[in-house]
Structure 1
Amino acid sequence: MSISSKDMREVLLCAAPVMIGYLSIGIPCGILESAIGLRPWMIFMVSLLFYSGAGQFMAANMFMAGSPLASIIMSISFVNTRQMLYSAALAPHTKRANKLITLLFASTVTDESFGINLEHFTDNPSWTPQKATLVNVLCQTSWIASNMIGCLVGNVISIPMNLASFVMTAIFVCLLCTQRIDKRAVVVSIVSMAGVFGCKCLGLTGPAILLGALLGVCSGVLYDKVMGE
């Protein structure tokens, strides 16, 4: 993957906010994973191969609650079905990319890097799958490092899990605020938030984000049809 120093600076500027944010989330995640008995090498492998902040937090919490293994696997798999939406949105932008780059890119997409790359693919003609993949890899590197820090200093630093949850929410808020705001974006945001809130009120905590996102996407498509945009 050939990339110039100028492109590298551009990628770093795009990835830096997420990388910094991952430090505040990954450290408590590493502490939590260490608390359930995972060894440092296990946490490293989980962060490298699984790489799902929500999934890793969920797995650790469900394990501590004594949930059956099958229940943990099914719950995490359901929550991560949102990756199908990401794939559908990003696939048109990677059709001409090298297969190895496409595989690496698809394997390292997260909520935050998805938001960054989709915006740049849409608004920046010079944005390439190589740059997008590098954003993903930098973000994952930060996530792995922060998990390892949390694991190694877990006995020294105590970070409330509620604070970690707020930081994760704050990242999504920051990504939303950096998007191009128009009437359709406002409609999608409001419907998505209302959908997530409604699901949680009904006790559908697990699929709340997925269902909220689906409602938001549908509202955006409906808005385009009604308004003729």
Structure 2
Amino acid sequence: MKQIKTEARWKETFKVAWPLCLSYTPIGLACGILLHAAGFNTLLTGLVSLVIFSGGAQFLIAQMLTVNAPILTIVLMLFFLELRYALLGSSLSKYLQGESRSSIFTFALSLNDENYAVNYLKFATDKHWTPNDARQVEHWSLLFWTVSNIVGSLIGSVLSINLTVVDFALTALFIYMIVMQIKSRLSLLICIFSGALAAVCMIITKSTLGLVASTLIASFTGFLIEELLVKKRPASALLQDIGSRKGGPIIEEIEKKESDIL
């Protein structure tokens, strides 16, 4: 009987994580350089990368320190900026049922926007994807991010580099992650609404707190609209896949259940 050879699980999770790790490298280098310019030594840069593990938060820390912002202001800004992880974590909780508290704790510590998107997609499409696999993806991305930050700090200690391109690189990464997540017409509509709302909220608040407010409002609005359409109008065009004339994932699931009953 012919034996089927299977790869080690860490190799499979690395294959899933490596595009994410690759995209982290240039941004991580830039973040390390910027943190060094803000007064962080290499050891502190590595520690911040491990504890916070958020490009947006770390760039925010560096920028606010360069303008001598009070520590309390920085902490409050970070709290509201990272509050979105409560929403991200809650959407993954159904896949972590039965896990120990320590496992959930380590999973939560290494969660960020990008590995959340990768793991959510894998959980939704791969029935063999486990919480341990998801945790490995998070740890791979955390490893590459931390090492890139440390190397960036070392580069910043010997070179003077123009960092004006950093904001564009970070924005491009998040735009890519958004595009990867847009599938239905409703998600595209909410994405456009969220962008417009973020601009309005930031003009009103004159700070990044507007981003937190717009994220919460747009997420809640999208949830309400989706729930209403699923219950009242499951055949709505908004629930269909982009470019599809047939029913979207929700409609197909309903049709499948009906066929199973028959």
Do these two structures clear the TM 0.5 threshold for a shared fold by scoring above it?
yes
Structure with max Cα Rg: 2
Instruction: Give me the identity figure in percent.
Output: 26
Distance in 1, matches of 2:210 and 2:137, equals: 27
Q: Report the alpha carbon displacement of residue 207 of structure 1 after superposing the two structures with TM.
A: 2.2
Match of 1:225 in 2: 227
Secondary structure of 1:37's match?
A: coil
Runs of at least 5 residues in structure 2 that lack an aligned partner in the other structure: 1-5, 235-262
Cα distance change, pair 10–199 in 1 and its aligned pair in 2 (3 A):
farther
Which amino acid in the other structure matches residue 10 of structure 1?
E
Match of 2:97 in 1: 95
Q: Is the 8 A contact 2:28 2:152 kept in 1?
A: yes
Q: Is the 8 A contact 1:24 1:164 kept in 2?
A: no
Aligned residues: 226
Distance in 1, matches of 2:48 and 2:182, equals: 34
Runs of at least 5 residues in structure 1 that lack an aligned partner in the other structure: none
Question: 1:96-123: CA deviations, max 9, x gaps?
Answer: 1233321111100011111111222222
Normalising to structure 2: TM-score of the pair? 0.79
Q: Which one of the candidate residues 7, 13, 16 is aligned to 2:15? A: 13
RMSD of aligned C-alpha atoms?
2.0
Higher relative contact order by CA 8 Å / sep ≥ 6: 1 or 2? 1
Q: Report the alpha carbon displacement of residue 201 of structure 1 after superposing the two structures with TM.
A: 2.8
Q: Report the alpha carbon displacement of residue 219 of structure 1 after superposing the two structures with TM.
A: 2.7
Secondary structure of 2:51's match?
A: helix
Q: Report the alpha carbon displacement of residue 5 of structure 1 after superposing the two structures with TM.
A: 3.0
Secondary structure of 1:5's match?
A: coil
Secondary structure of 2:222's match?
A: helix
Match of 2:212 in 1: 210
Q: Report the alpha carbon displacement of residue 188 of structure 1 after superposing the two structures with TM.
A: 2.2
Q: Which one of the candidate residues 173, 178, 181 is aligned to 1:179? A: 181
Q: Is the 8 A contact 1:55 1:79 kept in 2?
A: yes
Output aligned runs, 1:72-221, within 5 Å.
72-179=74-181, 181-221=183-223
Output aligned runs, 1:62-73, within 5 Å.
62-73=64-75
Distance in 2, matches of 1:148 and 1:171, equals: 20
Which amino acid in the other structure matches residue 50 of structure 1?
I
